[in-house]
Structure 1
Amino acid sequence: MKKIFLSILIFLIILLSILIVSRKYIQGKDSDFYVVVKMSVGNILPEVADSINIGDYLIDSDGNKIFVVIDKLEKYSEVPVETSDGRILKVSHPINKSLYLTVKSMKPSKKLVLSYNRVSVRIGGKIIFETSKTRFVGTILSLDKE
């Protein structure tokens, strides 16, 4: 009788240990991470493009800092032009510029689901963003963890 009781007790201890270990180490715990968003801002005036700088904060309608600009690539916008012989060419716009911005969330998150001014930030979405001095429309290209 003692052997059966001892065997059951040892079995329960082993089973409990396996459950504790699997819960903590095998399943893993959701860790917080920052969300990095890449976006394009097309066909804007040079004054608007020049007013957006690395280190600027994207703020929501309440003035809260949601994202910080960590990278900026600027180039002239490209537009289609039809030649006299009917060919369509892609040429640089003489005035307007396009930006490719990389921004990082200010607060860590457990998911790649973010919202900005009550609009869900999703790949392909167009969202109106604001800095302290500029407002522009960005198209979301990617969402990544950092």
Structure 2
Amino acid sequence: MRKITVLMKFLLPSLIIIFLTACQSIRQEKYKGSYGNGDESIILTIKNKEILKTEFWKELPDIDASDSLEFNSAKDSLLENYGHIKGMDYSVEKSKSGHLQIHIVTDFSKLDLKTWNKAFKSNNKLKDLTDYIKTKKMLEENGMVKVQ
């Protein structure tokens, strides 16, 4: 009986450590970075070294949001060229500085890769788009930081 108690005292903490490690490996993490002159920013949602989702903002300083004709023309052009891609949601809005800002959310679990490759004139495979290890160095060079 004593041997079983000693064994249980050893086994229980080991099982708890294994369980916590397993839970930690499936947890989602978020990373954020800014690029260029601060007019581009991105948030990545990562799980098990795979990019699940990206949120991207790009400000276009040459398009004044107060010029409704220019703003609507740019918005219509963007939605016409890229708004049909399943798994990508676009919005065009006014930035804090009064310029046109594009907000793109890509959910890789829903992404229509064939249409995406055609629209962006690419030949990527989904594993290349979602592989965080391949993109990590570039992201860290651009100030990517963990936010969650």
**TM-score, normalized by length of structure 1?**
0.39
Look at both structures and tell me which one has the larger radius of gyration over its CA atoms.
1
Structure number with the bigger relative contact order (C-alpha 8 A, sep ≥ 6) is 1
Indicate the structure with greater helix content.
2
**TM-score, normalized by length of structure 2?**
0.38
